[in-house]
Amino acid sequence: MPIKLGPAGIPLSCKGRTIVEGMDDIISLGLETMEVQTVRMIAPQHFEQYWQAGVLANKTEFEIGVLLNIEEDHLDRHGTKERYTQIKKKVLEYSSFNISFNNENLFNKDFINFNKVKINPKTVTFPELKFWPKHDIINLKASISCLSFFSEHFTDTLIQVPKIIKKLEKALKSFTKPEHRFEKIGIVNGINYINDSKATNLHSMQNAIHSVSEIKKDGDLFLICGGDLKGQNLSLMDGVIMKNVSEVFIFGKDKHLIASQMKHYAPCTCIEDLDEAVLKVSKKAKKDDFVLLSPACSSTDMFENYEERGDRFKKLVSFGNV
């Protein structure tokens, strides 16, 4: 039975328990696939354990490496974007086959730019696909590239991309997106509410704004954002995308800093918390408008994690507090 570990599933470590202590359990499961972010502060006596468990990567550990993007994030942890970029590129350096978001074959390996995969939502027999946000389509292209690469190098038959897409249509019909990722909560009093609490950086927030602007026919877009910026550079905001927003409601640790930049593109209101944001925006929004929670920030200044933040937003909307 597949088991997800890491940010999307069971954590390798938790309060009072180290990653190393969790490795014994993981190895006993006969684990074959694991999502790994970044390993930090490893004591020398633990190097061998990490190496055996596959957490410290070397180029014999991974067959296929996929690099989805490089945007400013986790700068509180890594210090600079340059350092963060170096770390992210290791997923390609320590893999035999590389799949990336651009044409840069950095390590001269077998290589695919997944953005060259062509998906026409109008011809795919999965109606919901045309409502998927841009970043979900990008992830789908990366997955298709990975399947194509796998079929070419690890099976007896090469499956061409168009055939993979047709096979995926059946799988997509039974697919349920995880919560908090451009999640359409529903329509209340004619207002569309979207929970994108997983958007913890500016790039993700701007993708969500772009996606709403493409799917909405009429009405305004109200953005709720805020939290801990984690050192992101606000000057990198895309003004063309941000001008799709009618008004911004900002809460959290860095609300005034965020407002100082966003005010150039849309009216901004700084408020105390998410509850107040939902209350205020719902009084302003009207039929056919969109209310988007896409924080662009870490949640840990006010919540345990982005899931708790998203759940709170959904409760505020669902229980008539709008």
Structure confidence by residue, pLDDT tens digits, 256-312: 999 999 999 999 999 999 999 999 999 999 999 999 999 999 999 999 999 999 999
Q: What are the residue ranges spanned by the domains of the chain?
A: 1-56, 58-173, 183-318
- Listed ranges 45-54, 82-91, 141-150; the one with the highest mean pLDDT: 141-150
**Around Cβ 88, how many Cβ atoms within 10 Å?**
18
- Amino acid type, 289: D
| Lookup: tokens for 30 | 């006969």
Mean pLDDT value across residues 50-67: 60
Whole-number percent of the chain with pLDDT over 90: 47
Task: Please name which of 131, 92, 85 lies closest in space to residue 114, comparing C-alpha atoms.
Answer: 92
The 290-293 sheet, strands edge to edge: 183-188, 191-195, 290-293, 221-226, 247-251, 268-270
| The dihedral formed by the CA atoms of 118, 122, 128 and 134, expressed in degrees to the nearest 10 | 40
- Which pLDDT score, from 0 to 100, does residue 244 have? 96
- Which pLDDT score, from 0 to 100, does residue 38 have? 44
Confidence of residue 85 (pLDDT cuts 50, 70, 90): confident
Domain made up of 183-318: CATH architecture: Alpha-Beta Complex (3.90)
Residue 2 has pLDDT above 70, yes or no: no
Tokens 């997923």 — which residue?
91
Mean pLDDT value across residues 198-227: 94
Q: What is the pLDDT of residues 147-192, one digit of tens each?
A: 888 888 888 877 888 888 888 878 888 888 889 999 999 999 999 9
Task: Please name which of 311, 307, 295 lies closest in space to residue 225, comparing C-alpha atoms.
Answer: 295
| Lookup: tokens for 17 | 């328990």
Confidence of residue 10 (pLDDT cuts 50, 70, 90): low
The residue ranking higher by pLDDT, 125 or 204, is 204
The residue ranking higher by pLDDT, 147 or 33, is 147
**What is the value of pTM for the model shown?**
0.75
Task: Please name which of 219, 212, 254, 218 lies closest in space to residue 233, comparing C-alpha atoms.
Answer: 254
- Which pLDDT score, from 0 to 100, does residue 150 have? 87
Confidence of residue 84 (pLDDT cuts 50, 70, 90): confident
| Lookup: tokens for 302 | 């006010």
- Which pLDDT score, from 0 to 100, does residue 70 have? 82
- Which pLDDT score, from 0 to 100, does residue 52 have? 45
Average pLDDT, rounded, for the chain: 82
- Which pLDDT score, from 0 to 100, does residue 238 have? 93
State the Cα angle at 95 between 89 and 99, rounded to 5°.
65
- Which pLDDT score, from 0 to 100, does residue 114 have? 92
- Rounded CA separation 138/97 (Å): 19
Chain-centre distance for alpha carbon 111: 23
Residue 255 has pLDDT above 60, yes or no: yes
Mean pLDDT value across residues 38-64: 49
- Which pLDDT score, from 0 to 100, does residue 234 have? 92
- Rounded CA separation 204/296 (Å): 7
Mean pLDDT value across residues 21-41: 52
- Which pLDDT score, from 0 to 100, does residue 27 have? 55
Task: Please name which of 244, 245, 243, 306 lies closest in space to residue 274, comparing C-alpha atoms.
Answer: 306
- Rounded CA separation 249/270 (Å): 6
- Listed ranges 5-19, 76-90, 131-145, 294-308; the one with the highest mean pLDDT: 294-308
